[in-house]
């Protein structure tokens, strides 16, 4: 999978607490059940404001 970027969580002194790679997904099928559910709900919420 292609790397899309990196996400970092920093504390108040800019020390890295957590770091994870972001990846491009080829399809929604690569997501787990809960991630798909959250994506559906999020898209529904966004559609309310369009």
pLDDT of residue 32: 75
User: How far lies 18's CA from each of 4, 7, 9, 23, 37, in Å?
Assistant: 17, 8, 5, 16, 25
Q: Read off the pLDDT of residues 1-50 as tens digits, 9 standing for 90 and up.
A: 577 788 899 999 999 999 988 877 666 666 677 787 888 888 898 888 87
pLDDT of residue 27: 66
| Full-model pTM | 0.41
Separation CA 43–CA 41 (nearest Å)? 5
pLDDT of residue 1: 58
Number of domains observed in the structure of the chain: 1
Q: What are phi and psi of 17, to 5 degrees?
A: -90, -40
The residue range of the domain holding 12 is 3-48
Query: CA-based angle 33:42:46, to the nearest 5?
Result: 155
């Amino acid at each position: 999978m292609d790397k899309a970027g990196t996400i970092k969580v920093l504390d108040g002194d800019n020390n890295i607490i957590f770091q994870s790679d972001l990846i491009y997904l080829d399809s929604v099928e690569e997501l787990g059940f809960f991630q798909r559910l959250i994506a559906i709900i999020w898209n529904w919420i966004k559609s309310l404001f369009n």
